[in-house]
Amino acid sequence: MNAIVKPGAGTEAGAPGEGAKTGGQGAPVHRRVRSVRTAGGLSLRLDLRAVLVGLLLLAVALAAGIALIGSGDYPMTPGEVLGALTGGGNAGQEFIVRELRLPRVLVGLLVGASFGIAGAVFQTVTRNPLGSPDVLGFAQGSSVGALVVIVFFQGGTFAVAAGAVVGGVATGVAFFLLAWKRGIQGYRFVLVGIGGSAMLYAVVLYLLTKANIVEATRATTWMNGSLNGRDWDQVWPLAAVCAVLIPLALFYGRPLRMLEMGDDAAYALGVRVDRVRVIALLAAVLLVAAATAAAGPIAFVALTAPQLARRLTRSPGPNLLPSAFMGAVLLVTADWAAQRLFGADQLPVGVLTGVLGGGYLLWLLTVERRSGRI
């Protein structure tokens, strides 16, 4: 792996051509990197630790999904859940699992993965561990779009989701234009996002004052972020968006890693810096908008998932797949914990992730301040 230094984010670097890197305290941390040659002659270098961590996170996400399917007013064992999924359960179990609970879990997995990848892209492009879509105002943009539909048009579920997508995409386009000056620079994008977030939050509060009691209750419930009542109508559109945008983001994983060395080094290596930034950010914005439309603005998953994935893999670069799996783990596990602690459908998952993510944000700010980065 080539040496990569990520300014301001505490990224550890590895020596070129060696399976080692330097840890945060200057001590060498040896890494096992294996070269793999495909049948077509393409040579790939795999970080074994990152691969193993990704597979472990995927297994944990699936296990958490099975546990979540088995939770509720009619509890089921993992064996019964698997039996119902494979056609080995009775008619009642198969209806509960396939029609009532499986869509909720699939939405949770897809939303968590979308937020995880989007957060990794944003943090890589901005070179800032706080560069998250929910911190930079994209969730607020989707909230404005959804609330406009709820307050002024009394739209249904599909209309609210469409409004959230339009609001998120419009926010992304506006932020791109405001931050553009001979390309998009990370610090400008962060400043525009923070300012825009404050303005959009003010718009959200204004819309709530214009709503009647029924509309305000519905809007507040949506803004908390929840997986309650999710069905196949939310699964299929989100799955289609993820099937297109996640491979697109992964395709730009290597150029994004080169961007961490700085624009000049990336240009020297043949990376079209502005093109990579725009396409990667566009994919991330669309993923955030689609995920928010499906489950509401669930806070802090996009912020914490990439950071936790990076600390587990100890690998430089955006770590897109581990971040996606970590996002899925965080969201599904939080939803399961909310059901176990407060009962089914009593606590929206967005409230729990907001509390836990806020604590993580305070810890991250403390770490960054002690290291002298902020």
pLDDT of residue 114: 94
The whole-angstrom separation of Cα 197 and Cα 172 is: 11
pLDDT of residue 241: 92
Tell me whether residue 8 is in a domain: no
Is the sign of the CA dihedral 113, 263, 139, 8 positive or negative?
positive
The whole-angstrom separation of Cα 337 and Cα 227 is: 13
The whole-angstrom separation of Cα 204 and Cα 146 is: 10
The whole-angstrom separation of Cα 253 and Cα 276 is: 10
Residue 359: both structure tokens together: 């604590």
pLDDT of residue 323: 92
Q: How many domains does the chain have?
A: 1
The whole-angstrom separation of Cα 309 and Cα 76 is: 31
Q: In what order do the strands lie in the sheet with 20-22?
A: 13-14, 20-22, 28-30
Residue 267: both structure tokens together: 């240009």
* pLDDT (tens place) for every residue of the chain, 374 residues total: 333 333 444 433 333 333 444 333 333 444 555 555 555 554 456 678 888 988 999 999 999 999 988 887 788 888 888 888 887 778 888 888 888 889 999 999 999 999 999 999 988 888 877 778 887 888 888 889 989 998 888 878 888 888 888 998 898 888 888 877 766 666 777 888 888 888 988 998 888 888 888 888 888 888 888 888 888 888 999 999 999 999 999 988 888 888 777 767 777 777 787 788 888 888 998 999 999 988 888 888 888 889 888 888 888 778 889 999 999 999 999 888 888 777 666 677 878 887 777 777 777 777 767 776 66
Helix, strand and coil in the chain, % to nearest 5: 70, 5, 25
Tell me whether residue 7 is in a domain: no
Q: Which ranges of 30-180 does DSSP label H, i.e. alpha helix?
A: 48-69, 78-85, 91-95, 102-126, 138-153, 157-179
Q: State which amino acid sits at residue 154.
A: Q
Tell me whether residue 246 is in a domain: yes
pLDDT of residue 16: 37
pLDDT of residue 85: 86
Tell me whether residue 244 is in a domain: yes
Cα–Cα distances in Å, from 61 out to 146, 164, 232, 329, 351? 29, 26, 20, 5, 20
Q: Supply φ then ψ for residue 347, to 5 degrees.
A: -125, 115
Q: Supply φ then ψ for residue 37, to 5 degrees.
A: -110, 125
pLDDT of residue 260: 76
Tell me whether residue 288 is in a domain: yes
pLDDT of residue 36: 54
pLDDT of residue 186: 67
The whole-angstrom separation of Cα 126 and Cα 145 is: 25
Tell me whether residue 291 is in a domain: yes
Domain span at residue 83 reads 13-370
CATH at 210: 1.10.3470.10
Tell me whether residue 3 is in a domain: no
Q: Which residue, 115, 57, 45, 78, is CA-closest to 298? A: 115
The whole-angstrom separation of Cα 307 and Cα 11 is: 10
Whole-prediction pTM: 0.81
The whole-angstrom separation of Cα 103 and Cα 109 is: 10
Tell me whether residue 284 is in a domain: yes
